[in-house]
Structure 1
Amino acid sequence: MEAFKQHTGLVGPVDRVNVDTDAIIPKQFLKRIERTGFGQFLFFEWRFTEDGQVIPTFDLNKPRYQGASVLISRANFGCGSSREHAPWAILDYGFKVVIAPSYADIFYNNCFKNGILPIKLSEEQVEELFQCTAKHEGYKLNVDLENKTLTDEYGLKIDFDLDEHRRQFLLQGLDDIGLTLQHVDKISAYEAQHQERLALNL
């Protein structure tokens, strides 16, 4: 997993509350066993008609938001089923940061395991970001995880909170396996001692 320290990216809005994981990645696309390839199906039923035509009124389909890598949305983002395919689809589409007032717990945890930074802000702060995104075409945010700040070129600065353990996970590019491998020497030593004890007891 890549280390995350800073990211500057175009902001893409999904102005809806209670965005559930079935909307993020519909169930018919869960047959793949790889983590990649899901981005094309992100928000599929909002982006496309039943016969596969692009819905031009959906924000992420608009030309001004093409290439967005910072996603903003409303409260309770990622609710619904626990499918890890949801952050896989978000990451594969190109989003590295998600900003919302609140998240479903399982989705929130899965973001960190996949190298996505989910930021919690107040509803008022999120509303301000929506207004800035609508007002300024090509609106970008700089996300500084080291200093826990959001800034833009118009003078905005917002501090955000994040559990230090999770922050270090992203700063060092660690997932659960990577964290475990940091202690491989101790694990190997324990296993050797365990084998010795077993041999003495035979």
Structure 2
Amino acid sequence: MPKTYNDLYLATRTALKNAGVEAYALEARLLVAYAVGKTKEEFVRDLRLYTSDENEQKIEALLQRRIAGEPLAYLIGEWEFHGLPIVVTPDVLIPRMDTEVLVDAALRVLVGRKMNARILDLCSGSGCIGCALAHELPAARVVMVDISDEALTVSKENLRRNHQNRTICLKADALEKPPMGIGTFDL
């Protein structure tokens, strides 16, 4: 029997709720929209349209992985942080709301005082902090440092996706002497 996007959403929502996922409704929307290749807005617009068996199979495969405990952000490959889309992979930590508090605190320190600040994002992982600060402080120059090549690849992708051209990524070990010429930082 043909199913609508709404049918698939409702079934996914019920399965996530039964599995004990706290934000089951939100996660169901994000998972189904991702699986069928739609933005959140397109998904809501198309709820009453019929979908394919192929889409149903994609959703079921992702749903089983989520129920098994795989984080939604890793399944869909991105997460929102401070209003920006951030690519995430298992090579980096998933941005969290409490990290947004850190960005807000940094902004309170810098806004109105040092708009062209040099900012160091040490052990940058996905680069979410550096991207958010560069986005909020257009005159700032951000240096993101990580020891992981995989994390630096994710950081560079996030810089590209969020149009940050005043930010650079460097490979370095936070426990070793800093690279020559890295300079000093305001934050």
TM-score normalised by the chain length of structure 1: 0.28
Which has the higher relative contact order, 1 or 2, with Cα contacts under 8 A spaced 6 or more apart?
Answer: 1
TM-score normalised by length of structure 2: 0.30
